[in-house]
Amino acid sequence: MAKNQADRVKLKVELKMYSNNMIKESIRMAHHDLGDFYHATGDYGPSLKHYTKSRKFCTTSQHVLDMCMSILEV
């Protein structure tokens, strides 16, 4: 449980840092990583939220496809 908490905090800090620097690819990956984390822990609401937020930072059709597939898995 403590490891999950530490991982969640680390991922949120990374997202905040990337958002402050406006690095689109890193923001997309951070949202996707948070979506993966929440999906793995069984918390599907936040997982879907982060996968959906990653959409506006997708720069290729492959990114969009990956995002859609992740949403379908939730």
Q: Which residues of the chain have pLDDT under 70?
A: none
In degrees and rounded to multiples of 5, residue 24 shows phi and psi of: -55, -50
Q: What is the pTM of this model?
A: 0.89
Q: Domain locations in the chain? A: 1-73
What's the pLDDT score for residue 35? 97
Q: What is the pLDDT of residues 31-52, one digit of tens each?
A: 999 999 999 999 999 999 999 9
Distance from C-alpha of 58 to C-alpha of 18, rounded to nearest angstrom: 15
What's the pLDDT score for residue 2? 81
